[in-house]
Amino acid sequence: MKNLSVTCIGAGVIGSGWAARLLVNGINVNVFDKRPESYNRTRLSVERAKKYFSQLTKAPLREMGSLTFEKSLEGALKTSTYIIESVPENLQLKHSLYKEIEQISNNSIILSSTSGFKPTDLQKHMKNPQNLLVTHPFNPVYLMPLVEVVPGQERDQNIVDDVHHLLEYIGMVPIIIKKEIDAFVADRMLEAMWREALWLIKDDICTTKELDNIITSSFGIRFAQMGIFESYRIAGGDQGMRHFLDQFGPALKWPWSRLTDVPEFNSDLIDKICSQSDAQSDMYSISELEDIRDKNLVELQKALRNNRWGSGRTLASYEKDLFDEQSKEAEKASGKISSDLLITYTKTIPPEWADYNGHMTEYRYLNCFGDASDAVMLHIGCDKAYIEAGNSYFTVETNIRHLNELKVGQEIYIETKVIKGTEKKLHVFHMLRNKEGELFATGEHLLLHVSLKTRKTCPASKPLIDKLIELQNQHQETSVPSEPKIIV
């Protein structure tokens, strides 16, 4: 995907989210919107993505792509293979845009972010209708992994496959919807819940705050990691899904919900919802709510990654891809360091990491170096499966040197030298630098390979030892800023 350029047309919440997700994955982005004031939203989304996307993974991220704000549609299309369309949900507006695009660039692949229009309806007046398909994401695009991929009646399977590959490359979960249907799948599920929610508020059964608490404290948590069918399979007990259906299937005939009926969407209902929503959330600005949302999304996905479950499977696979890329290409985040060492950590220092002196607090250095050691373990094959099989590494000695102040907002990375890797020992030296390559701290760690059953040292598996020897040989000619302090 090197040197790939994508054009994002429409710089609203979704278009800006797409731009941010692509940029943090090393893809160059041209953004065009007829309202240049919208570009501020893009800039904010990019800053959020740099801050929060990097917290999802211990792997070093790809070098940021370049962002260009174009003054014309023609300028925006000049270098792009893919065009992501995120203009308002107006069919006539979209048709007009596609006509302009085909007049300028007849071979471009158009990916529509529409949340409801069927791709065949979007393709209606196109010269090359097979070049358009729907890729419906979820907000915030830079953190939410799902994309509904919906080809139209006119389709080119090679294009569908290429788009699927692109979306996986940027860490997303592309689900190809087998049949065209209005609003696709996810929004139809949301619409059903939304209709029932409107009735519950209108009839004074509960308030917006109470209803949100009901969701976030019950099935919302459950569905986040296991979905609806697997959750209900468990609800059936030892006999599984069949018992659940036998037990609760008849309830579908009971008049519990009002999904086929909609309350009159009048000013009274709108005022009730808005006043309750203001009472619920008005103590926070929208920006503060976005920060809270993004922090929670990061931590939920990291927990799922650790357990290799739900969307965490995708994050784990994406993280492995990043480590593999770094290993094969040995590219350095700053471009200023010898290419022999591993990049094991990247991050932008968040405000909560600052101490009373205004710089990064002491224990966060150990946090960073510990994560870097974990990255080395993952890199050589000591992953979740290896640990579950009964073996791992324990840190037995650490030496940290603080050389300079790190402040909030600084972009950092860690490069790691494997000093020694044997059957039972792993000796690593970490160097924490800013994006200009300036050294801020070093961390040296000695780890022992242990059996988790006996809690005693034991030889690592041959693939791990072979990888360690390879890294040790690769790194031996690269010097470190000071002599190692740990005697092995």
Q: What count of Cα atoms within 13 Å lies in the side-chain half-sphere of residue 335?
A: 3
What are the C-alpha distances in Å from 13 to residues 39, 96, 141, 309, 430? 10, 21, 9, 28, 39
Residues of the chain with CATH 1.10.1040.10: 186-264
What's the pLDDT band for 79 if we cut at 50, 70, 90? confident
- Shortest CA distance to 382 belongs to which of 373, 372, 392? 392
| Model confidence at 161: pLDDT above 90 | yes
Alpha-carbon distance 187 to 208, whole Å? 20
CA 248 to each of CA 85, 254, 337: distance values in angstroms, whole numbers, following the listed order? 43, 11, 62
Q: Is the pLDDT of residue 43 over 60?
A: yes
What mean pLDDT value characterizes the chain? Answer: 90
Instruction: Give the number of C-alpha atoms closer than 13 A to the C-alpha of residue 332, restricted to the C-beta side.
Output: 18
pLDDT value of residue 329: 57
* 456-460 mean pLDDT: 96
Inform me whether the pLDDT recorded for 143 exceeds 50.
yes
Which residues of the chain form CATH 3.40.50.720?
A: 5-176
Q: Give residue 428's pLDDT.
A: 96
How many whole angstroms separate alpha carbon 285 and alpha carbon 103? 43
pLDDT tens column, 106-116: 889 999 999 99
Q: Which CATH superfamily is domain 186-264 in?
A: N-(1-d-carboxylethyl)-l-norvaline Dehydrogenase; domain 2 (1.10.1040.10)
Query: Which amino acid, one-letter code, is at 465?
Result: I
| Backbone phi and psi for residue 324, each to the nearest 5 degrees, phi listed first | -65, -40
- What average pLDDT score do residues 149-167 get? 96
* Residue extent(s) of CATH 3.10.129.10 domains in the chain: 330-475
Cross-strand pairs, 417:
429
The model's pLDDT over 437-454, given as tens digits with 9 standing for 90+, comes to 999 999 999 999 999 999
**Which of 117-121, 131-135, 338-342, 377-381 has the least mean pLDDT?**
338-342
- The bridge status of strand 109-112 relative to strand 132-136 is parallel
Mean pLDDT of 126-150: 97
Look at residue 333 in the predicted model and tell me its pLDDT: 38
Is the Cβ–Cβ distance between 22 and 170 less than 8 Å?
A: yes
3-state DSSP helix/strand/coil % of the chain, to nearest 5: 45, 20, 35
pLDDT digits 0-9 by tens, 294-330: 999 999 998 898 888 888 889 988 988 887 776 665 4
Residues in the chain: 488
**pLDDT per residue as tens digits for the range 342-383:** 988 888 888 889 888 888 999 999 999 999 999 899 889 998
When pLDDT is averaged across residues 382-391 and rounded to a whole number, the result is 90
Lowest mean pLDDT across 34-43, 257-266, 296-305: 257-266
Q: Report, as an integer, the average pLDDT of 478-484.
A: 83
Domain 330-475: top CATH class = alpha beta
With a cut of 70, say whether residue 420 has pLDDT above it.
yes
Q: Which of 413, 407, 307 is nearest to 369 (CA)?
A: 413
DSSP H or E stretch at residue 345 = strand 342-348
Identify the CA nearest to 469 among candidates 432, 426, 430.
Answer: 426
Classify strands 411-421 and 5-9 as parallel, antiparallel or unpaired.
unpaired
Q: Where is average pLDDT lowest: 209-218, 232-241, 450-459?
A: 232-241
- Mean pLDDT across 137-150: 97
Per CATH, the number for 5-176 is: 3.40.50.720
- pLDDT for the residue numbered 338: 43
